[in-house]
Amino acid sequence: MAEPKLIVVSVRLPVRLEGGGSDWHVAASPGGLATALRAVAERRSFTWVGWPGIDVPYQHQPAATEALKEYGVPVFLDHDVYQGFYEQFSNRLIWPLFHNTSGRLKFDRAAWYQFTDVNEQFAAAVRRVARPGDTIWVHDYQLALLPQMLRASKLECPIGFFLHIPFPSHETYRTLPAREEILHGMLGADLIGFHTYEYAQQFRSSCLRVLGLESERETIALPGHLAHLGVHPIGVDPEEIAAFSQLPEVRDQFEGLRSRFRTKKVILGVDRLDYTKGIPEKLLAFEEFLGRNPQWQTKVVLVQVASPSRMGVLEYRELKREVDELVGRINGRYGTFNHTPIVYINQTIPRSHLSALYRIADIAFVTPLRDGMNLVALEYVAARGDQPGILVLSEFAGAASCLAGSRLVNPHNISLMADVLAESLQDTDAAEAEFQQMREFVHSNTSEVWADRFLQQLANAHESHRSGACRLQAAADFTRHVPQPRPLFILDYGGTLQPHVPKVSEAEPDLRVYRVLRDLASLASVYVISARSPDVLESWFGDLPIGLVCEDGAAVKQPGTDWPDMPQIDLTELHTLVLPVLQDFVRHTPGSKLERRRVSLVWHYRATDPKLAALRAKDLYAQLESTLRGLNFTVLAGARFVEVRPTDITKSSVVEQLVQAHDETDFVFCAGNDKVDEGMFEVVMRSQRDTTITCFVGGKDTVGQYFVESPAELVSELEGLVSLWRSSMATAPA
């Protein structure tokens, strides 16, 4: 069998296809990602899936695929679709929004369809090459829908997603028109990686606000799936960068620059020409610095490399005009016959030139308004070897959270940046300690370490899924024949057999639920547990030969009998101690409400602002626990409710009674959908019967042995079981 491989999926392949017709050749086009993954690619079987960077007519695609065979699997995109997917949706909507420049938003429905369509095409390409056990690592926002599409294909592969750009605050995120779809798309991954803790937290907060999904610090539970969050700041390869800087061509470049700037200090900016990179702000700060420090006017030069980027997009063309004008103005004002303050290079320069620039620069001036990480900051530190340099860095770059030793600036504060430049130029020789701190980070968090850590966490995340509950369909394997004596089924109702609905009046069982209970009752002892009153349960199920448990444990009606009297319980403490607390919480938590049941009080917060509700629920739980200490009442924290009820009247205590009352049976099946139902599972699993099946409805994150994703799936499994047992009875020898 072939060795399991790593499938890397990014919008661009790390090579560019050139040529045409049946004559294609491949040119290297390694970006930061290819460099970062080089070490991993050398150690394991590896495939890259991506767009080859050129329009290839349908009839020439086989030849182009053949030419690319060694480098990866191409996804060919029509020019129009690519425009909508890449330039419109990715670069004119997600990019500005995720970088907090939402004034530039453009939503175009056709582009959204093309975005979805391209993600589908990538999913199809991955499905063609993926084998069970392979690892799939999807990169960046353009492919944000892909993880969920791949999960839906049930590939049996760990799926990782890494976001290279920032994740915005939920206030910004929620303005995105396709906000639910994008979150769901990313949440399909086993592991979602971010450069910083802040981005991971903002993602969690958006999941809560937009999707109502509560989460743990590093996991978000979804039906049938647990998405892990990881903080993995990307690195560079400092040894390779240092070795490259020693190549003869780089040395020649360096010597040329040294003699050219012999008597001057050099400040360096290297950016794609992008409005997130803060290039105008940097130029304005330099202008102000020159104005306020005439002694430096002919002794310092700013070399600004601004490599052209996305020139098909209007905003980028406008930025180019703005930068051209600023450079012209500053050079006009402060330039002399022998000195040009800003050396402006609006081209992509060869790597050897860049490397020499990193070495000559006394100060790297990196000023993005927002940036996922910023590789230039890391490359500058790596390229200098042992020679210290000063990094003036925007606090809005992800790198700011890692590079202790950099001089942080707010790029919106032009005067402050001018001050920091002036200070830094005074003490370029005194920056050794700062530089060592940065050096340590860059050498310990290399690109290889980054990739290895991500992939290790991905493997762990995937493994932790597999060791959890199994999907219920496996249960049928243990139980081909109707167990004898009669099996026992204990089924929660709301959220388990029938989905939760906002209005109580719409909560009645549909025909399928009714029928499956009726059929099951012909083979098994069946009990349904609900929060409803005896009257409601009677109106729904009164004519079925099943047991009913009202108000989550207040009373049990045995099959074929009448309801017993409700228990007489002293609820004084509930009404004197608990009721005022809950009323107070209702007053202070808009959207929450109080439900008075016969034996319990319930505070519901389904309609409350999720973040406030989560905080209030925790407070309430803690307050009630201390109020009720030593009393005979229990606090239950369920899905969007907190309930107080007598300790011996809970679902778990009823299940305990039912299991004891049916001590003849060796088969107990119990299903529930809430955290508070887990207590029922524990009772059943402790009961020491030959077969216990405890099934959680709504995902694997449970102490139960099995799971299904929805009430509909549970009902259909029960239908399957009934029909399996009936057919086994029909074929059994007389």
Active-site residues: which are they?
A: 492
Does residue 534 have a cis peptide bond before it, meaning omega lies within 30 degrees of 0?
Answer: no
Rounded Cα–Cα distance for residues 148 and 649 (Å) = 42
483 touching ligand GDG, by CB under 6 A? no
Site map for ligand GDG, 73-102, x if CB under 6 A? ------------------------------
Helix spans in 274-337 (H): 279-292, 314-334
* 356-375 binders of ligand GDG (CB under 6 A): 371-375
Cβ pair 363, 389 in contact under 8 A: yes
In the complex, what is the shortest distance from the CB of residue 36 to ligand GDG, in angstroms, rounded to a whole number?
8
Measured from the CB atom, is 232 or 662 closer to ligand GDG?
Answer: 232
Residues 376-405 close enough to bind ligand GDG by CB under 6 A: 376, 379
Q: Edge to edge, what strands does the sheet with 73-74 contain?
A: 73-74, 46-51, 6-12, 135-139, 159-162, 191-194, 225-231, 219-222
Among 4, 19, 32, 591, binds ligand GDG (CB under 6 A): 32
Dist CA 321 CA 329 (whole Å): 12
The residue among 268 and 375 lying less far from ligand GDG, judged by its C-beta, is 375
Is 527 in a helix, a strand, or coil? strand
Report residue 227 as tokens: 């998405």
The CA-based angle 652-657-661, given to 5 degrees, is: 145
Of the pair 376, 420, the CB lying nearest ligand GDG is at 376
CB of 97 to ligand GDG, least distance (A): 14
For 563-666, strand residue ranges (E) read 593-596, 601-604, 633-638, 641-646
596 token code pair: 């008075």
732 is written with which tokens? 């059994």
Q: How far is the CB of 31 from ligand GDG (least distance, A)?
A: 7
Radius of gyration of the chain (CA): 32
Dist. CA 484–CA 506, nearest whole Å? 37
Tokens of 171: 């206030």
Which of 423, 427, 352, 343 is closest to 389 using CA atoms? 427
How far apart, in whole angstroms, are the C-alpha atoms of residue 408 and residue 367?
A: 9
Cβ closer to ligand GDG: 162 or 289? 162
Q: How far is the CB of 524 from ligand GDG (least distance, A)?
A: 56
Tell me which residue of 576, 608, 611 sits closest to 592, measured CA to CA.
608
Within positions 203 to 262, which residues make up the interface with ligand GDG, using CB under 6 A? 234
DSSP string, 187-207: HTSSEEEESSHHHHHHHHHHH
DSSP, collapsed to helix, strand or coil, labels residue 525 as strand
Asked if residues 487 and 721 have their Cβ atoms less than 8 Å apart, the reply is: no
For ligand GDG, which is the closer residue by CB, 134 or 271?
271
Q: Can you tell me which of 301, 354, 521, 550 binds ligand GDG, judged by CB under 6 A?
A: 354
CB of 375: closest distance to ligand GDG in angstroms? 3
Q: Which 296-335 residues touch ligand GDG, going by CB under 6 A?
A: 305, 307
Stretch that binds ligand GDG, among 37-45, 106-114, 346-354, 647-655 (CB under 6 A): 346-354
The mark string for 256-275 relative to ligand GDG (x by CB under 6 A, - otherwise) is --------------x-x---
Q: Could you tell me the smallest distance in angstroms from the CB atom of residue 407 to ligand GDG?
A: 18
Binding to ligand GDG, residues 549-588 (CB under 6 A): none
Using the contact rule CB under 6 A, the part of the chain among 146-154, 344-352, 603-611, 642-650 near ligand GDG is 344-352
First to last CA, the chain: 48
Our CB check for ligand GDG shows the closer of 346 and 716 to be 346
With CB under 6 A as the rule, give the number of residues binding ligand GDG.
19
Interface with ligand GDG, residue 448, by CB under 6 A = no
Q: Which residue has the tokens 């060592």?
A: 436
**Which of 165, 210, 267, 438 is the binder for ligand GDG (CB under 6 A)?**
165
Query: Shortest gap between Cβ of 377 and ligand GDG (angstroms)?
Result: 8
| Residue 351 lies near ligand GDG (rule: CB under 6 A) | yes
Tokens standing for residue 256: 């040329």
Considering only the stretches 8-16, 186-194, 349-357, 542-550, report the one whose residues sit in contact with ligand GDG under the rule CB under 6 A: 349-357
Q: How far is the CB of 211 from ligand GDG (least distance, A)?
A: 26
Q: Is 477 exposed, middle or buried (0-12, 13-18, 19+ CB in 10 A)?
A: exposed
Binding segment (CB under 6 A) for ligand GDG, from list 42-50, 343-351, 556-564, 693-701? 343-351
Judged by CB under 6 A, which stretch of 70-78, 105-113, 348-356, 529-537 contacts ligand GDG?
348-356
For the bound state, the minimum distance from the C-beta of residue 326 to ligand GDG, rounded and expressed in Å, comes to: 19
In the complex, the residues that contact ligand GDG under the rule CB under 6 A are 32, 164-165, 234, 270, 272, 305, 307, 348-349, 351, 354, 371-376, 379
